[in-house]
Structure 1
Amino acid sequence: MTRQPLRLAILEAVSVLEEAGVPSPRVDAELLAAHLLGIERTRLGLVPLVDPAMVDAYRAMIAQRAKRIPLQYITGSTGMGEIDIEVGPGVFVPRPETELLLAWALAYLEGLQEHPPVVLDLCTGSGALALAVAHARPDAVVHAVELEPHALAWARRNAERCAAAGDTPILLHQGDVTDRNLLTSLEGRVDIVVSNPPYIPEGTDLPPEVIEHDPHSALFGGPDGLSVIKPMVSNIARWLRIGGAVGVEHDDTNGAQVAELFAQRRVFGDVTEHPDLAGRPRFVVARRVPTDVEARRGGSQGGTGV
């Protein structure tokens, strides 16, 4: 059978995706072609001709994307830090913006070399943040919490795969991050908390890839986007050791409110808002400081500034 030019197949795919209203038709068309061929996107130019069977498989993938099925659901994975995470129906697809929260966490952990750090990832979803931290810091003891059974199953699958590849296993917990009785054994022991919780205000207009595929419970945080974050702050206060730090991702409409939730608590200091690459408010960090009573008792001041 006659081989066909890959370039023409990609041009056809771009046209199909443009017609379907996909936001980045050329990028997605090239990423799907690269995924199917098992090569880097930058190497597509080195593949001038492809078999008809590959073109048929490619068109089937493009048809899925044209239905606004998330690209990551079609490829079956997405990246976080230096690892790949499997995703699919029933679990939230990690966004590139969360890489900034990961970078902050790893930079903070650089200052913790005197003991194996204890890390807690709240609303872990696919396990992306927790597993990326465990990969980068094999000495860390990483706990991850997820409420939804389907998401937890994805996290467990990813954790098992990463452990089989040689990464330090993480400790998965099913639970509600707003529950005051959750993980009482970790009170005062955690060096750093990271979280990408449900934070989108109800009623926000979202693209089909998000509203029709990401789990509702992983997206929305009540009318103001803070229904999970507000009660979570109290739990973070009891989990963090003095000197420990927290980073919480949030909707770009409520950065100041999230910062205030931490600032109004006496146990938090150095509250700082961080923007994403587009300059929009994206996550807030804070440090656990001693209260007057804790200071009089001689509470430890370990950790680094945030």
Structure 2
Amino acid sequence: MPRIPPWLFRKANRRSPNVAALLPACRDLQSAVNELRWLKEHVHGITRIQQEGLLSRLCRKRGQGYPLQYILGSQPFGPLDIKCRPGVLIPRPETEAYTYHLADLIKAGSLGVGASDQSLGIVDFCTGTGCIPLLLYALLSRRFERLEVLGVDISTRAVSLARANVAHNIRLGHLPSMRPNHTVDILQGDIFQDQILEKLQEQTWDVMVSNPPYISRRAWHYGGGQIGHSVRKYEPSLALVPGDDIPIPTAWEHEDVFYARLLDIASRLRPKAMLYEIGDEMQAVRVISRFSQHRLSVGSHIEVWRDWPDTTPSHEEGSLLETTTADGRSQTVLAKGSGNIRSIFITLGS
């Protein structure tokens, strides 16, 4: 990361010492000014002397890289206000973008779900704060007569926070109040244990979503790729790096092991569509290659979505991703949108 020039620190300090304290994390003056405004709103309500001392401490803490969302306690996510706490991954704008795009495809009827009986079931694995299932519920609740949305996570802390986010957003009016045949729920469970799958197989799941751990151990310990120092220092490795105790299937990389499991889960739940967040283009290529050998690949359609799937790619980005199947054949996959490769979208054959 490039160093901040001294003249920018001097300019920030003329605005306010707190703006200068925020600059190392914000990287530009306008962002620092914006964050200072939010922090001032956060400490509003206590005495002026207390405000000044607390605000100064929070600005220094933020300037050292501590996530703003953990300080403020929440992150906007579409129309929702998602509570954020240390130990649970912070929602990203790229995740919000592909969730919106998925909801638009569902509402347009292009996935072949909910067309006949107006019923839809969505399951989100590794749900964290619950931001994905809550946003999908908010966007789709008026479209379907029957809607069941479920988030699943192994972390007790994440499950507690996700359930709190359900109640919090209903209370704020950002989520529609529950009505007959409409549910959004959070379940604690380990997706590598079959007991939870046996329970899920009792219901119909049309769409399966996951933002699983996908960071390599090397990137986590030494940095690299799209993962920043602040993420490695302050956000939970459980949500980002597959555990060392997870068995690695033949021909799969350690950082890709959740995708191997998710494909096997899909074989049992038989959703019509799957959307998986991934770390980068190289990981997308590896997962697509492994998927080409999976029994689910017969009659399926696969594409990748960039950070902003609704936008037009630049000339340099292109709209196609060249991959190779596991047996060495070349394969061309549609790449939607602009930005970095962010997710893999699969519709399954009947």
**Structure 2 length as normaliser, TM-score?**
0.69
Identify the residue that residue 260 of structure 1 maps to in structure 2: 289
1:135 deviates by: 1.2
CA contact (8 A) 1:72 1:93 kept: yes
Q: Could you give the per-residue CA deviations for residues 142-178 of structure 1, whole angstroms, max 9, x where no partner exists?
A: 0110001111111111112123335345121111123
- Of residues 149, 153, 159 in structure 2, which corresponds to 1:152? 159
Identify the residue that residue 172 of structure 1 maps to in structure 2: 186
Q: Could you give the per-residue CA deviations for residues 57-90 of structure 1, whole angstroms, max 9, x where no partner exists?
A: 4322211202321011011111222211000111
Give the total of aligned pairs: 269
Map 1:1-306 → 2, pairs under 5 A: 11-18=16-23, 21-38=24-41, 54-110=51-107, 111=109, 112-114=114-116, 115-138=118-141, 139=144, 140-164=147-171, 165=173, 166-167=175-176, 168=178, 169-187=183-201, 189-204=204-219, 205=223, 206-221=227-242, 224-241=254-271, 244-252=272-280, 253-268=282-297, 269-277=300-308, 279-290=339-350
RMSD over aligned CA atoms reads 2.5
SS at match of 2:257: coil
Alpha-carbon distance change, 141 to 63 in structure 1, aligned in 2, over 3 angstroms: same
What is the percent sequence identity of the aligned residues?
25
Alpha-carbon distance change, 84 to 63 in structure 1, aligned in 2, over 3 angstroms: same
**Structure 1 length as normaliser, TM-score?**
0.79
Q: Could you give the per-residue CA deviations for residues 95-122 of structure 1, whole angstroms, max 9, x where no partner exists?
A: 1211232023202221135413101011
Alpha-carbon distance change, 239 to 30 in structure 1, aligned in 2, over 3 angstroms: farther
SS at match of 1:120: strand
Is there any run of 5+ residues in structure 1 with no aligned partner, and where? Answer: 1-6, 40-50, 291-306
CA distance, structure 1, for counterparts of residue 34 and residue 279 of structure 2: 28
CA contact (8 A) 1:106 1:133 kept: yes
CA distance, structure 2, for counterparts of residue 238 and residue 171 of structure 1: 21
CA distance, structure 1, for counterparts of residue 14 and residue 96 of structure 2: 32
CA contact (8 A) 2:209 2:274 kept: yes
SS at match of 2:255: coil
CA distance, structure 1, for counterparts of residue 210 and residue 15 of structure 2: 38
CA contact (8 A) 1:14 1:25 kept: no
